[in-house]
Structure 1
Amino acid sequence: MRRVEHVMGLPVSLRIDDAEIPRGLPDRVYAWLREADERFSPFRPDSEVSRLDRGEIAPGEVSTGLAEVLAIGERYRAATGGAFDLRVPGRGLDPCAVVKGWSVQRAADLLTGAGVRRFCLNAGGDVVVEGGPWRIGVRHPEQAGGVCAVLELTAGAVATSGRYERGDHILDARTGRPAAGLLGVTVVAPTLTEADTVATAAFALGPEGIAWAAGQPGCEVYAIDAERRVRRTAGLPLAGPAAA
């Protein structure tokens, strides 16, 4: 089964290779992603996030899901010394850096919880896989359509942060200015919640973010700095030369 829908402002594709798929499961996956977008988007005035930011609901009254997202954001804010923050000076609350990976990982959990053994869930290039081997290309930060590395995973998640899709959208919250010093950071982790948040936080930190990300539990890193030097951890699951 293969399916693609536009959710959260990006294409989300789902591939399931199992011979039997529980009835209605793909519908539930996409329904959850649409629900997460409606509830946690800062761009929707009626979302829970926007209502919290306007003071219409108190921090202690938020849903369990939003409380979890905010707690993740706070953990990484502290871990990066404030470079990563869901509140950037001069801007409102924006949990997108956590919500995307967190919500897609929960969608993947729906699949595994239903007994699906082999799938690939791809949200705009950030990927969760199960039942591999799967080969995942890392987009070249300066060559549209180019691939600078190929990873091979049996299970887990891959996320990349860079400026090639949306320009300087990742800010160093310590200064409020666009993060500098890196062209791209790719993180492999057990879950997309970790991979996506660590990649974004590392990019916000700049060059020091490479070593920081490499030190996060369960994470492997592939990064290209502003001088176009490649840095990667020893355990990065690179595919063989024939796959590149």
Structure 2
Amino acid sequence: MTARHAQVCPVMGTVASAHVIGGAAGVELEAAIEGCFGMLRRADRVFSMYDSASDVQRIARGELRMADADPWVAEVEAACDGAEFETRGLFSAYLGGVFDPTGYVKGWATERAAREHLLPLLKVPGLQAVGLDVGGDLQVFTAEESDWTWNIGIVDPADRTQVIATVPVRNGAVATSGTAERGAHIVDPRTGAAATGIRSATVIAESLTRADVWATAIVAAGADLGWLPRAAGTSGLLVDTAGSIRRWVEGVTVEVQPA
């Protein structure tokens, strides 16, 4: 049986879990996992909209200039501007005129932590795969010589005890956004109103940062599929409020399953 090592950490208002397949637990592995969690904790300190001492909250109150904040702030702001351009305004970090990169940071921080701290572990002999999951969004990697495949379940937003699809991934990311867990918390930047037409959108891509942005953007778009040509390099599945399931692969809708 292939050895598996998993470790969890409460962070960013949810739970992060690091997974290592194959190999043996050791100082190198433990340091890599702690490096992941440390990076996520730093992201939380800098970007939390719930911590009055975070950099973004201090910026919003006019107590801190963006130029004097943690360097990650300027990096994320520039990336959010790029995401807004790519999605044609379906994603924005400036809802209500306040810089709030909540819809970007979790995916970005998770991918960054996984690439910087877990991916190098694949050089360790016998280690087959590594992955980092934060609140159900995950970035995974598999050693080239390994036959390991991550089988990622997509939960039914109408019944979270059920899985409506399973996605095999060797190297890549899966992100899901929607109303199932937190209600209509995603705002359509074009109207300022809560997005309610899509119950859940799951996006599979090489990068979790990009998958997370597009999952949020697709929920904001609602029934309008005009975003498909712009979401190059993604595949996924969305469930509307009627329960109908629509799948797409690389910008092409390939199946519609009625409720």
Q: TM-score range by the shorter chain?
A: 0.7 to 0.9
Residues in 2 aligned to 1:108 and 1:41: alpha-carbon distance in whole angstroms: 20
Aligned amino acid, residue 58 of structure 2: R
- Is residue 2:145 matched to residue 1:130? no
Using the size of structure 2 for normalisation, the TM-score is 0.83
Q: CA deviation at 1:66?
A: 1.4
Superposition TM-score, scaled by structure 1 size: 0.88
User: CA contact under 8 A between 1:138 and 1:149: conserved in structure 2?
Assistant: yes
Structure 2 unaligned segments of length 5 or more: list them: 143-147, 252-259
Task: Find 1:196's aligned residue among 199, 209, 212.
Answer: 212
CA shift in 2, pair 1:235/1:203, >3 Å: same
Q: Do the aligned partners of 1:188 and 1:219 also contact (CA within 8 Å) in 2?
A: yes
RMSD value, Cα: 2.0
- Gap runs ≥5 in structure 1: 237-244
Query: Pairwise mapping of residues 47-196 of structure 1 onto structure 2 (< 5 A)?
Result: 47-89=54-96, 92-109=98-115, 110-115=117-122, 117-131=128-142, 132-196=148-212
Q: Is contact 1:213–1:219 with CA below 8 Å preserved after alignment?
A: no
Residue 24 of structure 1 aligns to a residue in which SS? helix
Superposed CA offset, 1:171-201 (max 9, x none): 1122221112211111001111011111011
Choose 219-228 or 148-157, whichever is displaced more.
219-228
8 Å contact 2:153–2:164 — kept in the other structure?
A: yes
Partners of 2:158 and 2:216 lie apart in 1 by 18
Question: 1:61-107 CA deviation, whole Å, 9 max, x = no partner?
Answer: 44332122112221222334433221222x73321110000000011
Equivalent residue pairs, number: 234
Amino acid corresponding to residue 63 of structure 1 in structure 2: D
Q: Take 1:101 and 1:184, find their aligned partners in 2: how far apart are those partners? A: 17
Measure the CA separation in 1 of the matches of 2:130 and 2:218: 28
2:198 and 2:240 in contact (8 A); partners too: yes
C-alpha distance in 1, partners of 2:176/2:16? 15
More strand by share: 2
